[in-house]
C-alpha cells in the first residue's frame, strides 16, 4: 500500500480487511474533528508503462454516476504521483454476504439437530435491497457482471445498519452503446454465478446475466451452500466449463430449444462441446423446487413464494428470466414479514448478529516524508450507536417508490459511517498538499477530469 503517498496524510489506517487479485482493502479513519470510518481499496501496480489500473478507472467512472442507497458510495479518489497509483475510498461496511453465509453455516453445523439459517425477515430484507440496487443499476444502463456474495456488502452498527451495498464495479459495463461486442471483454462473472448463456459461449448477452447471479445468491442464502458448485477449467480462457454446466443440469435438467430457441445458435451447444447435447443424468434431475425443499435451511417455514421467485430468477432462457424491477413486485415480498431497510432489526428488535471483520495491522508504513511510522492503533471508545428502536423500520414494497429510488440521475446524500473516536493528542493535518505541490495538484485534477 502506498502509505508514503502525500494523499494518505488525511487518514489513520487501522488494518487490512481484505485482498484479492486487484490489490488490498484497508480500514481507516479520516483525520477530521468528527472522524469517519472508511475503506481504502488499493490496486496493484500495473505493468511497466501501463500507468493507472483500468479497473480502477472504470470503477471511478461508473460510481460517479451511480447514486443509490444500495450501491456502495465512493467517498474519494487518491492519486499517488510517485508510482503512479490510484486508491479508492469507500464508505465502510462491516459485513458481506460471503462471511454472513459462512458464519451461519458454521453455527448450523455445530447444532444438534442442525440449526436454521437466515431468518425469514433478514433473508427477505437482504434480497429486497439487493434487487433494489440491481434495478437501479439496470435502469441506469449498467451491468455489474460480477455479482456474488463477497461483492454484496452489509453495513454494521450505525445510521445505515443492516443496509445492503453492491460493491466492486471492476467488471461493470454500460450497455446502451458498447464500442465493441460484449464478448470481447473476455470472461465475466465468477463461475458459480455464471449464467448458462455465458457458459455456452454467447457472443451477446443482457442484464439477465446479473439476474441469474442473483438467483444463485438467493439459493445460497436459503441453503448456506453454493447452489451450483462447479470446478473451473483454468486454461484456455475460452474453454467450455462443462463441470459447471453439469452441476446446473443435475438440478434443472438439460436446456431445450423448445423453450429456449436461441440455444441452437450458442457456440458450445451447436458444436456439442464435451458432448453437452447428449448429456444424460445419472438420476432424474429433481428440479429447483424439490432440490431447495430438501436443502433449504433458512427463510421461514413456508418457502413456496421464495422458491417461485428463485425459479423465475434461474430461468434457462434469458428472455424469460425475471427482471429486477419485476422481482420487486413478486408476491414473496408482499407476504409477512415484509422486508425492511435494516436487515438486522425488525420492529425495533435485533434479530440477527454476525461477527465483525478481522483486521491485520499494516506493516510499519512510511509517512509522506519517507520515515517509518508505527501503525495507527484502532481507536478506543464507547461502542458504536445502535439504530433507533422507535419509528418505522419496514419498507413498503411498491413499484412507485422503487422507481423513484432507481432513477439513474437521482443523487442520494452521502451517508458514510460517521462513528466517533477520542480526539487525537497530535495536531490534525490540514487538507492541503505539502508546499510546492500545487503543480502536482493541478495535474491530478486534470487527470480526474479526464476519467
Answer whether residue 81 shows pLDDT above 50: yes
How confident is residue 370, by pLDDT bands cut at 50, 70 and 90? very low
pLDDT at 178 over 80: no
pLDDT at 283 over 80: no
pLDDT band at 46 (very low <50, low <70, confident <90, very high): low
Q: Tell whether the model's pLDDT for residue 222 goes beyond 70.
A: yes
Rama region for 159: left / alpha / beta (φ>0; ψ in -120 to 50; rest): alpha
The closest of 332, 313, 129 to 208, measured between CA atoms, is 313
The answer, yes or no, to whether residue 111 has pLDDT greater than 80, is: no
In whole angstroms, what is the distance from residue 325 CA to residue 82 CA?
Answer: 45
Q: Is the pLDDT of residue 381 over 60?
A: no
Rounded to whole angstroms, how far apart are CA atoms 146 and 133? 14
pLDDT given at position 293: 78
Average pLDDT over residues 95-112: 87
pLDDT higher than threshold 50 for residue 90: yes
| pLDDT interval class at 98 (50, 70, 90) | very high
pLDDT of residue 419: 41
Nearest residue to 344 via CA among 85, 135, 123: 123
When pLDDT is averaged across residues 154-171 and rounded to a whole number, the result is: 95
| DSSP helix/strand/coil, 120 | helix
How far is 216 from 194, CA to CA, in rounded Å? 9
Tell me which CATH code domain 6-93+357-385+409-450 carries: 3.30.200.20
Instruction: Tell me if residue 437 is catalytic.
Output: no
Q: Per-residue pLDDT for 384 more than 70? A: no
Q: List the beta bridge partners of residue 80.
A: 85
The Cα–Cα gap between 241 and 273 comes to: 10
Per-residue confidence (pLDDT) for residue 363, from 0 to 100 = 55
- Euclidean distance between CA atoms 279 and 275, whole angstroms: 6
CB-based burial label for 241 (10 Å; 0-12, 13-18, 19+): buried
More reliable by pLDDT, 301 or 232:
232
Spell out the domain ranges in the chain: 6-93+357-385+409-450, 95-346
- Asked whether residue 437 carries a pLDDT value surpassing 60, the answer given is no
In degrees, to the nearest 5, what angle opens at C-alpha 341 toward C-alphas 95 and 134? 75
pLDDT of residue 431: 36
* 3-state DSSP helix/strand/coil % of the chain, to nearest 5: 35, 15, 55
* pLDDT band at residue 207 using 50, 70 and 90 as cut-offs: very high
pLDDT top residue among 8 and 275: 275
Choice among 146, 367, 405, 438 that is catalytic: 146
Contacts of residue 284, defined as CB under 8 A and 6 or more positions apart, other chains included, come to: none
Query: What was the pLDDT predicted at 49?
Result: 54
Closest CA to 26 of 12, 46, 36, 45: 12
Chain mean pLDDT for the chain: 78
Q: Residue 123 and residue 162: Cα distance in Å, rounded?
A: 11
R_g of the chain computed on alpha carbons:
23
- Asked if the model's pLDDT at residue 5 lies above 50, the reply is yes
Which residue, 7, 168, 170, is CA-closest to 93?
A: 168
- What confidence score (pLDDT) does residue 20 get? 76
Residues in the chain: 451
Band (314; pLDDT cuts 50, 70, 90)? very high
pLDDT of 154 over the 60 cut: yes
Contact 104, 114 (CB under 8 A): no
Residue 225 sits at φ, ψ, to 5 deg, of: -140, 150
Beta bridge partners of 42: 24, 87
**Cis ω before 236 (30° cut-off from 0):** yes
Residue 235's pLDDT band, with cuts at 50, 70 and 90, is confident
- Is the pLDDT at 113 greater than 50? The verdict is yes
Q: Residues within the annotated binding site for ATP?
A: 41
Contact (Cβ atoms closer than 8 angstroms) between residue 208 and residue 88: no
Q: Given pLDDT bands bounded at 50, 70 and 90, which one contains residue 186?
A: low
CATH numeric code, 95-346:
1.10.510.10
User: What is the per-residue pLDDT for 248?
Assistant: 96
Amino acid at each position: 500500500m502506498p502509505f508514503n503517498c502525500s494523499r494518505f496524510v488525511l487518514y489513520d489506517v487501522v488494518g487490512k480487511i481484505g485482498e484479492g487479485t486487484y490489490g488490498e482493502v484497508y480500514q481507516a479513519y479520516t483525520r477530521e474533528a468528527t472522524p469517519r470510518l472508511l475503506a481504502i481499496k488499493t490496486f496493484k501496480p500495473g505493468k511497466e508503462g501501463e500507468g493507472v489500473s483500468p479497473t480502477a478507472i472504470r470503477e471511478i467512472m461508473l460510481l460517479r454516476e451511480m447514486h443509490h442507497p444500495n450501491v456502495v458510495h465512493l467517498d474519494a479518489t487518491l492519486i499517488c504521483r510517485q508510482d503512479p497509483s490510484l486508491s479508492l475510498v469507500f464508505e465502510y461496511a462491516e459485513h458481506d454476504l460471503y462471511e454472513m453465509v459462512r458464519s451461519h453455516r458454521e453455527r448450523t453445523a455445530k447444532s444438534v439437530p442442525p440449526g436454521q439459517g437466515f431468518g425469514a425477515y433478514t433473508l427477505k430484507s437482504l434480497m429486497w435491497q439487493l434487487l433494489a440496487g440491481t434495478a437501479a443499476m439496470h435502469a441506469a444502463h449498467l451491468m455489474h457482471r460480477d455479482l456474488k456474495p463477497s461483492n454484496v456488502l452489509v453495513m454494521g452498527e450505525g445510521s445505515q445498519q443492516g443496509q445492503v451495498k453492491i460493491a466492486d464495479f471492476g467488471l461493470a459495463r454500460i450497455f446502451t452503446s458498447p464500442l465493441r461486442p460484449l464478448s470481447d471483454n473476455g470472461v465475466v462473472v465468477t463461475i458459480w454465478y455464471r449464467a448458462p448463456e455465458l457458459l455456452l459461449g454467447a457472443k451477446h448477452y443482457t442484464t439477465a446475466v446479473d439476474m441469474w447471479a442473483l438467483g444463485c445468491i438467493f439459493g445460497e442464502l436459503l441453503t448456506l451452500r453454493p447452489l451450483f458448485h462447479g470446478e473451473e477449467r483454468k486454461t484456455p480462457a475460452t474453454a467450455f466449463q462443462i463441470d459447471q454446466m453439469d452441476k446446473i443440469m443435475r438440478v434443472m435438467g438439460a436446456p431445450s430449444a423448445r423453450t429456449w430457441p436461441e440455444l441452437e445458435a450458442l457456440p458450445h451447444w451447436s458444436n456439442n462441446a464435451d458432448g453437452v447435447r447428449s448429456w444424460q443424468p445419472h438420476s432424474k434431475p429433481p428440479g429447483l423446487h424439490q432440490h431447495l425443499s430438501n436443502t433449504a435451511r433458512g427463510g421461514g417455514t413456508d418457502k413456496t413464494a421464495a422458491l417461485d421467485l428463485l425459479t423465475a430468477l434461474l430461468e434457462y432462457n434469458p428472455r424469460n428470466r425475471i427482471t429486477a424491477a419485476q422481482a420487486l413486485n413478486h408476491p414473496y415480498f408482499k407476504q409477512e414479514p415484509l422486508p425492511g431497510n435494516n436487515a438486522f432489526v425488525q420492529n425495533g428488535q435485533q434479530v440477527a448478529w454476525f461477527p465483525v471483520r478481522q483486521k491485520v495491522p499494516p506493516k510499519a508504513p512510511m509517512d509522506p516524508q519517507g520515515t517509518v511510522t508505527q501503525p495507527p492503533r484502532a481507536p478506543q471508545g464507547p461502542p458504536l450507536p445502535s439504530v433507533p428502536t422507535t419509528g418505522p423500520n419496514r419498507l413498503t414494497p411498491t413499484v412507485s417508490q422503487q422507481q423513484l429510488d432507481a432513477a439513474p440521475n437521482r443523487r442520494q446524500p452521502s451517508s458514510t459511517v460517521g462513528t466517533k473516536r477520542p480526539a487525537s493528542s497530535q495536531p490534525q493535518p490540514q487538507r492541503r498538499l505539502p508546499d510546492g505541490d500545487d503543480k502536482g495538484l493541478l495535474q491530478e485534477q486534470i487527470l480526474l477530469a479526464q476519467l
